[in-house]
Structure 1
Amino acid sequence: MLGSDVPIVLLQHGGLDNLSGKTGLAMLRYRRGPIVAVVDPDHTGADLQQLTGIERAVPVVGSLAEALPYGPQVAVVGLAPSGGRLPEGMGADVAAALTAGLSLASGLHSRLGDDPALAALVQPGCWIWDLRREPPDLTVASGRSAGLLGRRLLAVGTDMAVGKMSACLELQAAARRRGRDTRFVGTGQAGILISGGGVALDAVRIDYAAGAVEGAVLAAATSAGPDTLVLIEGQGSLCHPGSSATLPLIRGSQPTDLLLVHRAGQGTVQRLEAFPLPPLGQLVTAVEALAALARPAGSGAPPRVVAIALNTSHLDGTAAAKALKATAAETGLPCADPVRQGGEALLDLLLGQERSPTP
């Protein structure tokens, strides 16, 4: 719904320097289309690259009105606050965007289009896209993704927000540089906004979750050939007591390959320190065992973890190199940081695996 060539303004109120703004930060790093301005009253006039480390020259302004001269057509809510409700300080700029004739895209749990006051401000030809909606006409999964040609790689994580989407997008960028047909299936708000489509998995009833993933994978793989690579963004974690996302992702995508994503040095679930993370080798075994189940006969060898994608963003170069080496030694699997090092190394590992695509 959000075209790749549409100029957007990010509503990033207070989220340029912390994880509450992870949706907008991901768009700044990975959206290929134009981002003409960022609204963040807490950082008006800041140098975006110096503040975020993202190599993108975008002005940071204090209000939506200050962003209008840059010519945005769509305002995008870049925050992912706890509880998923519209932050109080952002309401005025959301209303100002709609009044000025901009469309609005939001991944919040609270549906802005259902607010009568906001809906009344939508100008002719404009829209509010609340992407966290259950798709229509859902069906129960039936393993249809296993019949697709090509490779399907699913990113699985040891925790939330460890870099599953980033790993997939870095792989996609590396594959495209080589001219390889590569598709990305977004399953969370940032991935959907960056790619323009996908399925908001956390908005789907559990009985239909695997079917929703299956539908998104089939849609992304339209006209795919034997050399096509489909990258499925992971959500949640098997290690998190509040997460149920990994299993429907496995069932719906029927992956040929798995990528385990982990933050270097993390030993417990974030904000739930009573829940230790298992040794990575143990988790690899568990994920592979689950992925070997509920597969159609004749669909090829069960998927294996190709490599570890290690998030070392919190470490300096020397510490990151040590962590990569230690993780490879611990697991016996190749290990790379796709954001720090680029996706080429992981892509080589994936393509070097002798995995036969679905016959």
Structure 2
Amino acid sequence: MLADQDPVVLLQHGGLDNLMGKTGLAMLRHRRGPIVAVIDPEHAGRTLESITGIPRPVPVVKDLDDALLYRPSVAVVGLAPSGGVLPAALRSDVLSALRAGLSVASGLHTHLADDPELSAAVQPGCWIWDLRCEPEGLRVGQARAAALPCKRVLAVGTDMAVGKMSACLAIQDSARCLDVPAVFVGTGQAGILISGQGVPLDAVRVDYAAGAVEAAVLNAASSVPGDALLLVEGQGSLCHPGSTATLPLMRGSQPTALLMVHRARQTQIHRLPDIALPPLEDVIQLCEGLASIGRPRGAGPPPLVKAVALNTAGLTDEECERETAELSQKLSLPCSDPIRQGADSLTRGLIAP
């Protein structure tokens, strides 16, 4: 639905400086197509870089009327609020956008097209894209991705929201600079909005989750050469008591390698301080063990963690350099913050035989 060339306005109401706005923040960091304005009344008039650290010259405005001056054609809901419910102020701007002749894309659990008032406001030639819908025609996973010739990398993490998507997108850019064909398979709302393909895994019934990932991987692989690097966005974590996403991702993608993603110095699950994170070496061993089973005969060697993407947000540059160097030496693996330090060392580690 959302084309690369579509000029986008992001609806970020109250989400430019916190994790609630992670969908829009990811688009600001990684979308190649135009983003012409961001709506966030709390920060209107300030520069985007001063709020987020993202060096992209996009004006921050207070409402849709101000955003229309920049001639967007699609309004994208950039929030991921708890429970996926549309906040009242944001709904007002969604309605105004539709009435003004914009299309709307949303990854919320609340489907905008099911709202009679919003649906009635869609103008001719425009649309509402509720991307968090279960795809049609799903089947149970059958490990079919194991037969693909391309390298398949699955991002796994020690917690939710540690940067699995950002790491994959940075590696995709790095691979292309190194003349390695690469494709990204989104499995969450931001990843799908950025790449235009994938599967909203948390909208799929658990029995079909592995099959849905499998179908998305097969579809993505059909458009790239056999020597391509196929990067599958991770979701959740085996360490988190509320997450069930890692196993269907492993089964559906049949990875040839794993990318471990970790937040520097994190020792417990975010917002669940009573649940300690195991040592990183133990998490790596656990992921490798689970990824080694459920594979067809002749599928090749079991996948190993071949690189570590370290999220060093909050650390100084000196601390970032020290943390990544120490972890790389400790694990004998390439380790880098792909946003601050670049992803070339991770890419080379992942494509190495």
- Give the corresponding residue for 1:344: 344
* 1:349 CA drift (Å): 1.5
TM-score between the two structures when normalised by the length of structure 2: 0.98
Amino acid at match of 1:321: E
Consecutive aligned runs of 4 or more in structure 1 exceeding 4 Å deviation: none
Deviation at 1:55, TM superposition (A): 1.2
For residue 72 of structure 2, what is the aligned residue in structure 1? 72
**Count of matched residue pairs:** 353
Q: CA RMSD in A?
A: 0.9
Q: In the alignment, what sits opposite 2:199?
A: 199
Output the CA distance in 2 between the equivalents of 1:114 and 1:179. Answer: 44
Contact 1:149/1:224 (8 A) holds in 2? no
Cα distance in 2 for partners of 1:9, 1:17 equals: 17
Counterpart residue number, 1:259: 259
CA distance, structure 2, for counterparts of residue 224 and residue 16 of structure 1: 35
Contact 2:186 2:199 in 1 (8 A): yes
Letter in 2 for 1:32: R
- Counterpart of 2:139? 139
**8 Å CA contact 1:105, 1:129 repeated in 2:** yes
CA deviations 1:239-289 (Å, max 9, x no partner) are 000000000000000000000000000000000011110001111111001
Q: Which amino acid aligns with 2:160?
A: M
Tell me, yes or no, if structure 1 residue 279 matches structure 2 residue 267. Answer: no
Aligned to 1:218: 218
Match of 1:335 in 2: 335
Give the 3-state SS of the residue equivalent to 1:83 in structure 2: helix
Query: Which residue does the alignment assign to 1:34?
Result: 34
Partner of 2:316: 316
> What is the rounded CA distance, in whole Å, between the counterparts of 1:242 and 1:43 in structure 2?
33
The offset of 1:112, in angstroms, is 0.7
CA distance in 1: counterparts of 2:327 and 2:267, whole angstroms: 13
Instruction: Report if the CA contact (8 A) 1:37-1:59 is conserved.
Output: yes
Tell me if the contact between 1:186 and 1:232 (Cα under 8 Å) persists in the aligned partners.
Answer: yes
Shift of 1:180: 2.2
1: CA distance between counterparts of 2:129 and 2:84? 15
Aligned to 2:177: 177
Could you tell me which residue of structure 2 aligns to residue 102 of structure 1?
102
Residue 190 of structure 2: aligned partner: 190
Instruction: Give CA deviations for 1:296-348 in whole Å, capped at 9, x if unaligned.
Output: 11111110000111000110011112211232243332211111111111112
- Give CA-to-partner distance per residue, 1:179-201, whole Å, 9 cap, x none: 32111000001000001121000
Contact 1:132–1:189 under 8 Å retained in 2? yes
Superposed CA deviations along residues 128-158 of structure 1, whole A, max 9, x for unmatched, are 1111100001000001101111100000000
CA contact (8 A) 2:172 2:184 kept: yes
Kindly provide the CA deviation profile for residues 35-56 of structure 1, in whole angstroms up to 9, marking residues without a partner as x.
0000111111111112111110
AA at the equivalent of 2:30: Y
Question: For the residues of structure 1 that align with 2:219 and 2:65, how far apart are their CA atoms?
Answer: 38
The SS at the match of 1:38 is strand
Deviations 1:75-106 (A, max 9, x none): 00001111110012211111000000000000
Aligned to 1:89: 89
**Quick one: distance in 1 between partners of 2:153 and 2:6?**
29
Distance in 1 of aligned mates of 2:178 and 2:308: 22
Aligned to 2:299: 299
Structure 2 counterpart of 1:317, which letter?
A: D
How far apart are residue 3 of structure 1 and its match? 0.7
Q: Residue in 2 aligned with 1:241?
A: 241
Q: Which residue of 2 aligns with 1:118?
A: 118
Cα distance, 1:223 vs. partner? 4.0
* CA distance in 2 between partners of 1:332 and 1:277 (Å): 21
Whole-angstrom distance in 1 between the partners of 2:177 and 2:110:
38
SS at 2:83's partner residue? Answer: coil
- Whether the 8 Å contact between 2:150 and 2:221 is mirrored in structure 1 is no
Q: Does 1:60 align with 2:60?
A: yes
Structure 2: distance between partners of 1:91 and 1:150: 42
Tell me how far apart the structure 1 counterparts of residues 229 and 333 of structure 2 sit (CA, whole Å): 21
Q: Quick one: distance in 2 between partners of 1:126 and 1:306?
A: 44
What SS class does the counterpart of residue 37 from structure 1 fall into?
strand
Unpaired runs of 5+ residues, structure 1, are 355-359
- Residues 281 and 330 in structure 1, CA contact (< 8 A), matched pair in contact too: no
What secondary structure does 1:149 align onto? coil
Distance 1:228 1:349 in 2: 15
Q: Residue 209 of structure 2 aligns with which residue? A: 209
Q: Secondary structure at the match of 1:320?
A: helix
